[in-house]
Amino acid sequence: MRWLSAILSGCLLIPAPALGGELTNPDGIPLSALGGLIIIREWDRCTFSLGGALFPRSVRFRQATPDGPITTRFTLPANFQGSAPGLFWEMVPAVIQVQIPDNNGLIYIEDELIRSTGTVRQLLSPPLPPGKDYALHLRGAFKSGDKLLIEEKMIAIRAGQTTSLSFDGSGAVAVFLP
């Protein structure tokens, strides 16, 4: 009986690379995709994830920048509730570089105000699954002389890529200021 328990415990303690790859469930799902607590720290980024198997996976992505840390939060569906868009550690944020003529101009992404200033702004999307384009609706509102210009644009972003956009007033609606 001791021999059987020694052999069984020895088989269970063999590391995954010795078994020829990542451990999987009988249905083929990798154990790393099933859920639990995962913390990944690399350079100036930290990803904290909880859930994933029976409950939705809550992910917090924090990146240090010269202006202070940027925290992005999002939720992925549980693995048993439907198909997840991808494993969260494979996801990468997209960078959106926006040029706007007014230093204090307003930028809205999907009708949500982005709190930043400057004529060139670098914005970070939530982490996205690679290989797919995502459409975003952006609106810029800025002052030019005695007018307030409001301009709307659609862009496509992709994980890991930088997309540039310029609000120049060419397609803007003008509102005269008193």
Question: pLDDT digit string (tens) for 61-106?
Answer: 788 888 788 887 777 766 655 444 555 557 788 999 999 999 999 9
**Does residue 143 or residue 85 have the better pLDDT?**
143
Amino acid 83: pLDDT: 47
142: number of CA atoms within 13 Å, CB side?
Answer: 24
Instruction: Compute the average pLDDT of residues 128-135.
Output: 86
Q: Map out the domains of the chain as residue ranges.
A: 35-86, 92-178
Question: pLDDT digit string (tens) for 145-167?
Answer: 899 999 999 999 998 899 999 99
Which of 39-43, 45-49, 129-133 holds the top average pLDDT?
A: 129-133
H/E run at residue 5: helix 2-12
Fold category of 92-178 in CATH:
Immunoglobulin-like (2.60.40)
Mean pLDDT taken over the chain: 76
Instruction: Compute the average pLDDT of residues 118-142.
Output: 89
DSSP states of 48-86: EEEE-SSSPEEEEEEE--TT--EEEEEEE--TTTS--SS
